[in-house]
Chains A and B, each alone.
Chain A
Amino acid sequence: NAGVTQTPKFRVLKTGQSMTLLCAQDMNHEYMYWYRQDPGMGLRLIHYSVGEGTTAKGEVPDGYNVSRLKKQNFLLGLESAAPSQTSVYFCASGPSGANVLTFGAGSRLTVL
């Protein structure tokens, strides 16, 4: 089992460009989450999904959009990237019957 796979692992963008981060899980998990991790600030929740076709805002949703058209995939989009979105992004998934999350390896995004 691959677990949670994030692509790409690294990306450099210019201010104003758009991009999509892909998260794929092969554990049939209902719940999926996107977090960002910045030095000294811990992981902060951007958006989450409690099932296929559903999405909701987390703590820091501004500037991001998400979609979950298929149960195994959770996409995070940046429509117009800003330097403040330079961060490491983590996707996580969890089953409906337990609270334990499985995280991906992260995607490091730099916005110039």
Chain B
Amino acid sequence: EDQVTQSPEALRLQEGESSSLNCSYTVSGLRGLFWYRQDPGKGPEFLFTLYSAGEEKEKERLKATLTKKESFLHITAPKPEDSATYLCAVQASSSGSARQLTFGSGTQLTVLP
């Protein structure tokens, strides 16, 4: 069974205080690992896809990295507008044509001014 565990559940940072969010996964053949951002009362919004260990993707203050067992979302010098819940999801090779995702429960990030 595919599993995704995110930590911490909640994280409070001061503006400018860099940190990392963790996503540990167990999957029978990784087809892709996805990061989404979810604002309160809204649907998840796509951030990154990572396909193989060692891969890195960047977008503004966010950088996602991938190993064979986990992914990190690094946030450099965060701003209050980075406050959101960050979701990690995996797509297994066994998902076939359905390509369904298995999601973690998310990390709620709050950046204080």
Which chain A residues have a beta carbon within 8 Å of chain B's beta carbons?
4, 31, 33, 35, 40-45, 48, 50, 56, 58, 90, 92, 94, 99-106
Contact = CB atoms under 8 A, between A and B. Distances in A.
Interface residues of B, number: 25
Contacts of A42: 4, 87, 103-106
Those 3 A-B pairs whose CB atoms lie nearest each other, nearest first: A103-B43, A42-B105, A43-B103
Identify whether the interface residues of A are mostly helix, strand, loop, or mixed: strand
Interface string B23-43: 000000001101010000111
Given A31-B99, A94-B99, A103-B44, 16 more contacts: A33-B100, A41-B105, A42-B104, A42-B105, A43-B89, A50-B98, A58-B100, A90-B44, A99-B31, A99-B32, A100-B34, A100-B46, A103-B43, A104-B43, A106-B41, A106-B42
Interface of B: 4, 9, 31-32, 34, 36, 41-46, 49, 87, 89, 91, 97-101, 103-106
